[in-house]
Structure 1
């Protein structure tokens, strides 16, 4: 028996989890369940991370968490339990598989267009770090963190998935045309790793172009890999292509701990009524069984689900309205009665189980991920984010007084657009400028010199934030302002 941790979730979570476990038990899946306390009701008991210490210890011992949808309390300053769990246990790759399901009608299925699309989303970094600050009462800033080691983890996983799937194409979606450093790291890493998989066709696409093509010709894509925020949006879009979030499984994969969950919400308006659709959670559970080597059990259950859908059985949120809908329990019972039956399309071969318990390494310290052969660093200059409601020329007149034989004022921008030494009177301003100083030579600046310059600036301006400007192997590793 393989032990796994189970969190029932909030809202409809307990009833759809009960339905899925009923199906697992009827299929005699060799799993042993350890239920853990997570979710909104745990927040309400005073645990700000949404889980009890016992729950955390159990999950870190077993390595597998199967969870229902969970709600984060609103207006209490706490982070999402779903995001916290993924980040805490470094489940760096979010895999969501989207397939045409016969019996779930969409505009594409009616047009005879078959979809078989896998989205791999980076799960740890990006704006989902939730690192935000108010720079002034009018201006907020969010830090978008993209790292090369983090990108390598998820992109390598995506290539492995594409290889296992015998994919015809793996595509990196991005906005490197605008975010040249953050998305640039991700895109460059994609092509570096692509060299290790010459048998796969690897290409890239700007994410807004991807959106247009997905809603017109989704069948041309196979495996997509994206950064966190873009991946979140695109994966929900893809769910819409195959019938909605009720048919969207989700696997969060880490080296030590993995989380399998439905990505839809808690639906409190129908909670406790036994009418919720358990399909997304069941598909996530099937992905978990395959991950654990329980391929026979997974295939048996998936074939029964697909056969059930093909024959018009449905819950109230989808399906042929001329056929009476089933409640959650009855839908699960029909799937159980269909064990051993094979759907006409997309049937899965029932092979022998090769069960494997998820291995959790016992760690004494956190893993530090660093790129080998890192480039040589030097400091080219510094950006001061200041609060000021004066005109650009007035700001420049003051800031130029800080110039020295070591550095000088190069640029002033407002919301990323240059307003000095050149600009336009038609550029609207907010009360936060960025004033940029750069070294007068190729020797770079020291941190001490930046501290001394900072001491000068704060005599005239309120400094909200400071960023050093790096040179990597002599190349600028910072963006220019629009118009600079």
Structure 2
């Protein structure tokens, strides 16, 4: 089987060479097509950080194994790591965090074992990177949570938990505050949970989740979260088991999957042959299991665990009374230990089940769409305007533009209501959300909204607007704080 390999930037080539050397010594039946991605590709003028040949190879082969990559700072380009995940719709980011004997942490010293799998939604949320300056003082980032996108990652998490034999699956969220976006994610979680009655499904507010993870991490099994929250929580979990140097990452999609180390490029030690290749090796082991090379994966992981138990370590971890080894020596130690079993946590050697490579040739972009809900109505509009006036003065002017169809319901600033009720102690910025609703609760049209927009813009700069929709009699928009 052939896979695409991108060595990456900084320490990437060193640790990738070490890992592929271990694969070759273990007789892993893979061929590698090396592709051009990373900072130096940006520097050549490719704005997405990869050459067209690299993109074609990855889309043909379906598997990318990549080292850490740097995105140039201050050049207006997007992260190549995020671009790759989003371009190929690798919607589920799976990271497994386990106690590793030989990697001391406060929990290992206390005898508390950790085995937590974090599944992070990988495409949506604020990682859409859709941002605008609405005024010279106010920036906006759009946060997209979709029903089909949420179902993709949540269903993957449940299927993975079922195959793993998990005892519990937990949804981390902030639906107590973000009732529409996180509320949708949580709603989909419990809808999918109905299909898996044998799994205990529950939810935890994300800040409480973080507190519980650093006090009782052994109480969690599988945790699924939205993109930004999942990014933060997965790095938190890495700290529980020794740091990002021990954090594997798998990005799973329907057609393309990416396996990578999530730590940085460490340019300060690049070229010194002292980097720790463990995270990339663990990611590679996850890739082997994904491809069905179960026997090779077990032999290599057991050799790694035996090596760590033996006290062999690179300079970033381990017993400081034992001299550290360099990257090459660490890899050679693992190779020498292939066939040996660790005293703790030995992985069972299962028969290989190699998957048949399937080369997808899509004719058009897949469209994700759930069944349309009945009774859609436009019942109003939020108009975001630039103004440095006091709320009452602003309201008095806007009331002259409502016409016969609209009524001005509320004005908020940074999400807090300031009219018709509010407090003089609420600090203001020069951008207001002004909510207009239907005068008699009758449905409105986009033309009605446009006419209101034209009247308001005759006096104010309109930064943006959002329709207030209802489906099946339920409001599909949030209230302001204090409304």
TM-score, normalization by structure 2: 0.99
Partner of residue 352, structure 2: 353
Task: State the Cα RMSD in Å.
Answer: 0.7
Q: Quick check: 1:414–1:433 contact (8 Å CA) kept in 2?
A: yes
- Alignment-derived partner of residue 448 in structure 1: 447
Kindly indicate whether the alpha-carbon contact (under 8 Å) linking 1:3 and 1:357 is maintained by their aligned counterparts in 2. no
Corresponding residue for 1:66?
Answer: 65
Per-residue deviation, residues 389-440 of structure 1 (Å, max 9, x unmatched) = 0110110011001123211111111001111001100000000011110012
Map 1:27-426 to 2 at 5 A.
Answer: 27-426=26-425
Q: Which residue in the other structure is 2:466 paired with?
A: 467
Q: Distance in 2 between matches of 1:173 and 1:309?
A: 32
- 2:440 & 2:147 partners in 1: Cα distance? 29
Residue 346 of structure 1 deviates from its aligned partner by 1.1
Structure 1 equivalent of residue 10 of structure 2: 11
Q: Following the alignment from structure 2 to structure 1, what is the Cα–Cα distance between the partners of residues 48 and 273?
A: 29
User: What are the superposed Cα offsets for residues 171-217 of structure 1, whole Å, 9 maximum, x if unpaired?
Assistant: 00000000000000000000000000000000000000001100000
After superposing on structure 2, the runs of 4+ consecutive aligned residues of structure 1 that deviate more than 3 Å are: none
Mapped to 1, the partners of 2:178 and 2:67 lie a distance apart of 35
Q: CA deviation at 1:165?
A: 1.1
In structure 1, how many angstroms separate the alpha carbons of the residues matched to 2:427 and 2:324?
Answer: 56
2:429 is aligned with 1:430: yes
SS at match of 2:157: helix
For 2:257 and 2:402, how far apart are their aligned partners in 1?
54
Shift of residue 357 of structure 1? 4.1
Gaps of 5+ in 2: none
SS of structure 1 residue aligned to 2:316: coil
Q: Deviations over 1:277-329 (max 9, x none)?
A: 00000000000000000000000000000000011010000000111101000
- Whether the 8 Å contact between 2:373 and 2:472 is mirrored in structure 1 is no
Q: CA deviation at 1:382?
A: 0.4
| 3-state secondary structure, aligned to 1:215 | helix
How far did 1:350 drift? 1.3
Aligned 8 A contact 1:256 1:358 in 2 = no
**Alpha-carbon distance change, 378 to 428 in structure 1, aligned in 2, over 3 angstroms:** same
Deviation at 1:376, TM superposition (A): 2.8
1:246-295 deviations in whole A, cap 9, x for unaligned? Answer: 00000000000000000000000000000000000000000000000000
Q: CA deviation at 1:472?
A: 1.1
Counterpart-to-counterpart distance in 1, 2:359 and 2:441: 48
Distance in 2 separating the partners of 1:394 and 1:373: 42
Q: What is the TM-score with the length of structure 1 in the denominator?
A: 0.99
Alpha carbons 2:12, 2:67 under 8 Å: kept: yes
Q: Aligned partners of 1:118, 1:197: CA distance in 2, in Å?
A: 18
1:47-88 CA-partner distances (Å, limit 9, x unpaired): 000000000000000000000000000000000000000000
- Aligned counterparts of 1:140 and 1:66: Cα–Cα separation in 2: 36
Give the stretch that moved more between structures: 41-50 or 353-362. 353-362
Give secondary structure in 2 for the equivalent of 1:410: strand
Maintained 8 Å contact 1:120/1:225: yes
Please say if residues 403 and 409 of structure 1, whose CA atoms lie closer than 8 Å, have aligned partners that are also in contact.
Answer: yes
Residue-by-residue CA offset, 1:214-239 (whole Å, 9 max, x unaligned): 00000000000000000000000000
Structure 1 residues 425-466: Cα deviation after superposition (integer angstroms, max 9, x where no partner): 000000001111001233211000011111100111000111
CA contact (8 A) 1:170 1:203 kept: yes
Offset of residue 374 of structure 1 = 2.5
Uncovered stretches (5+) of structure 1, i.e. residues with no partner: none
Contact 2:384 2:431 in 1 (8 A): yes
Please report how far the alpha carbon of residue 358 of structure 1 lies from its aligned counterpart in structure 2 after TM superposition: 4.3
